[in-house]
């Protein structure tokens, strides 16, 4: 990989770090936010749902509206909006304003990762595209290893608003990195009509459902990881930030090796890792009662959860290669629809005490991921049919 391309990928990783931190931080601070704003844990969990829906709804519209913008200029604009959203979160006086701030920041998420994935894939040879996408998505893993645990610690020690000021500062650093390091790389040429035409294709619909349900199970459990660890496993609230580091280490391993496996054998690796993820989530409903077993399960959950991310993104790029920008962005929106679905379903399970409430969340998460496995098998069947034709 050329040095310039490597630096550009690192700049995209910086942006991914800032965005990943703001996406995941509420999970570590769920009790603090709920207590400070005088809302229930499920209501605080809706801040994650709101963010995810902001991504899912905003991503395609922003992509269409900015279709003719030069890619680097678009990435810069997105980061500026992201910074503004997090600054608003830091000063928000109540739950409603915080929700609005989260949605504003979320509007940039899908387009950033969608455009960033396309740019990352263009910077390297064809056989290394999933690896390049994985490097960019490493920002998300680093956000979990470093950003979320540190942000959780700061939020618990100095109030959750301090964490959003840190995220705002990180966004500024990412903005500077993109301005200085990312070259003016144009997306693959395609008309807006061609990009929109991708929405009519059944295999694209199946690819999106693979992502929604395959990743949705992760957030069904992970959104409520803090109350699970404290109320069920018996850890202290101050231990949560350290446990999130363990999860972050797992997703780093999963992201890197998931990208390598996807470059070798895309669909078999996706199916295998999704099956593993389903099993781990189901097992977590048993191991979350034991501290040591819970820690082991969380580490393995991190590996499996992000082991599917590069493959799902590459599968979408392959499925709609004639319209990569919108397709890639839609898939990021699908990840966040899965996040929203997971956070909502988990909240309903807790609120109405289905299957025991909080204790039932992991196995409900496993069911959602299992649905993702079914759609992935369907997607493989479509590919086999297309290859025969």
Range list of β-strands (E), 24-177:
none
Going by pLDDT thresholds of 50, 70 and 90, the confidence category of residue 168 is very high
For residue 3, what pLDDT is reported? 59
> pLDDT at residue 189 above 60?
no
Nearest to 237 by CA among 157, 135, 158, 332: 157
Q: Which two tokens stand for residue 146?
A: 């470093």
Nearest to 173 by CA among 49, 319, 380, 10: 10
Average pLDDT of span 43-48: 85
Select the more confidently predicted residue: 181 or 362: 362
CB atoms closer than 10 angstroms to residue 282: 17
> pLDDT at residue 2 above 70?
no
Using only C-alpha atoms, what is the Rg of the chain? 19
pLDDT, tens digit, for every residue of 109-120?
Answer: 878 887 887 777
Biggest CA–CA distance in the chain, Å, is 61
> pLDDT at residue 224 above 80?
yes
> pLDDT at residue 185 above 70?
no
Q: Whole-prediction pTM value?
A: 0.75
For residue 188, what pLDDT is reported? 52
For residue 278, what pLDDT is reported? 97
In order of their start, the domains of the chain are 3-388 (1.20.1250.20)
What is the Cα–Cα distance from 152 to 171, expressed in whole angstroms? 17
> pLDDT at residue 268 above 60?
yes
Block residue for tokens 């956070």:
343
> pLDDT at residue 1 above 60?
no
By the 8 A CB rule, do 9 and 136 touch? Answer: yes
By the 8 A CB rule, do 315 and 207 touch? Answer: yes
Q: What proportion of the chain, given as a percentage, has pLDDT over 70?
A: 93
Nearest to 363 by CA among 292, 291, 278: 278
By the 8 A CB rule, do 210 and 379 touch? Answer: yes
Range list of β-strands (E), 192-330:
none
For residue 273, what pLDDT is reported? 95
For residue 235, what pLDDT is reported? 93
pLDDT, tens digit, for every residue of 64-93?
Answer: 788 778 888 888 999 999 999 999 999 998
For residue 241, what pLDDT is reported? 77
Q: Which of 44-48, 123-127, 259-263 has the lowest mean pLDDT?
A: 123-127
> pLDDT at residue 250 above 70?
yes
Select the more confidently predicted residue: 199 or 3: 199
The rounded mean pLDDT for the chain is: 85
Average pLDDT of span 321-348: 81
> pLDDT at residue 181 above 60?
yes
> pLDDT at residue 377 above 60?
yes
pLDDT, tens digit, for every residue of 91-100?
Answer: 998 999 999 9
């Amino acid at each position: 990989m050329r040095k310039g391309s490597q630096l550009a990928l690192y700049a995209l990783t910086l942006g991914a770090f800032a965005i990943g931190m703001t996406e995941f931080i509420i999970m570590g601070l769920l009790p603090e936010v709920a207590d400070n704003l005088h809302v229930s844990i499920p209501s605080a969990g809706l801040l994650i749902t709101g963010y995810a829906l902001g991504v899912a709804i905003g991503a395609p519209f922003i992509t269409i509206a900015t279709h003719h913008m030069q890619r680097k200029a678009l990435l810069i604009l997105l980061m500026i909006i992201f910074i503004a959203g997090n600054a608003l979160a830091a000063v928000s006086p109540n739950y409603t304003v915080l929700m609005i701030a989260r949605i504003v920041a979320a509007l940039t998420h899908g387009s950033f990762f969608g455009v960033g994935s396309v740019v990352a894939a263009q910077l390297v040879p064809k056989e290394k595209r999933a690896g390049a996408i994985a490097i960019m998505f490493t920002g998300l893993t680093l956000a979990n290893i470093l950003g979320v645990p540190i942000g959780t610690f700061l939020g618990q020690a100095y109030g959750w608003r301090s964490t959003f000021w840190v995220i705002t500062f990180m966004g500024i650093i990412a903005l500077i990195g993109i301005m200085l390091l990312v070259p003016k790389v144009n997306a693959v040429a395609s008309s807006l009509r061609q990009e929109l035409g991708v929405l009519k294709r059944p295999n694209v619909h199946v690819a999106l459902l693979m992502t929604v349900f395959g990743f949705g199970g992760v957030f069904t459990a992970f959104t409520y990881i803090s109350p699970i660890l404290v109320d069920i496993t018996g850890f202290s609230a101050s231990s949560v930030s350290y446990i999130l580091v363990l999860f972050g280490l797992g997703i780093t391993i999963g992201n890197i090796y998931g990208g390598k496996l996807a470059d070798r054998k895309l669909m078999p690796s996706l199916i295998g890792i999704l099956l593993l993820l389903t099993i781990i989530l189901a097992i977590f409903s048993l191991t979350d009662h034991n501290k040591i077993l819970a820690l082991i399960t969380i580490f393995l959950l991190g590996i499996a959860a992000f082991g599917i991310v590069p493959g799902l993104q590459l599968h979408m790029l392959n499925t709609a290669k004639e319209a990569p920008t919108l397709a890639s962005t839609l898939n990021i929106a699908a990840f966040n629809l899965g996040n929203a679905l997971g956070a909502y379903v988990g909240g309903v399970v807790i609120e109405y005490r289905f299957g025991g409430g909080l204790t039932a969340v992991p196995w409900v998460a496993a069911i959602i991921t299992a649905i993702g496995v079914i759609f992935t098998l369907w997607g493989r069947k479509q590919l086999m049919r297309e290859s025969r034709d």
